[in-house]
Amino acid sequence: MRDKYSVDDNGYYGKFGGAYVPEMLHHNISELQEKYLSITHSNKFKKDFSQLLKDYVGRPSPLFFANNLSQKYNAKIYLKREDLNHTGSHKINNTIGQILLAKELNKKRIIAETGAGQHGVATATVCALMDLECIVYMGAIDIERQAANVSRMKMLGAEVRPALSGSKTLKDATNEAIRDWINHPKDTHYIIGSVVGPHPYPDMVARFQSVISEEMQYQLEEQTGRNFPDFILACVGGGSNAAGAFFHFLENESVQFYLAEAAGKGIDSGHSAATSILGSEGIIHGAKTLLMQTDDGQIIEPYSISAGLDYPGIGPLHAHLIDQKRATVFPVTDTQALNSALMLTRTEGIIPALETAHAFSILDVMDVEPDSVVVVNVSGRGDKDLPTYKNHFNF
Ligand SMILES: *Cc1c(COP(=O)(O)O)cnc(C)c1O
Active site residue 91: yes
Residue whose CA lies nearest to ligand 1 atom number 4:
237
> 64-115: per-residue pLDDT in tens?
999 999 999 999 999 999 999 999 999 999 999 999 999 999 999 999 999 9
Query: What pLDDT does 145 receive?
Result: 85
Q: Cα Rg for the chain, rounded, in angstroms?
A: 19
- For the Cβ of 116 lying below 6 angstroms from any atom of ligand 1, the answer is yes
Q: Give the predicted TM-score (pTM) of the model.
A: 0.98
Cis omega (within 30 of 0) for bond into 62: no
- For the Cβ of 356 lying below 6 angstroms from any atom of ligand 1, the answer is yes
List the domains of the chain with CATH numbers. 14-52+91-204 (3.40.50.1100), 58-89+210-393 (3.40.50.1100)
Report CA(75)–ligand 1 centroid distance (Å): 25
Query: What pLDDT does 291 receive?
Result: 96
Report CA(239)–ligand 1 centroid distance (Å): 7
CB 116 within 8 A of CB 91: no
Query: What pLDDT does 62 receive?
Result: 98
Query: What pLDDT does 172 receive?
Result: 94
Report CA(27)–ligand 1 centroid distance (Å): 29
Q: Give every residue of the chain whose pLDDT is below 70, as ranges.
A: 1-2
- Estimate to the nearest angstrom the gap between the alpha carbon of 34 and the chain centroid: 24
CA quadruple 117, 317, 270, 362: dihedral sign? negative
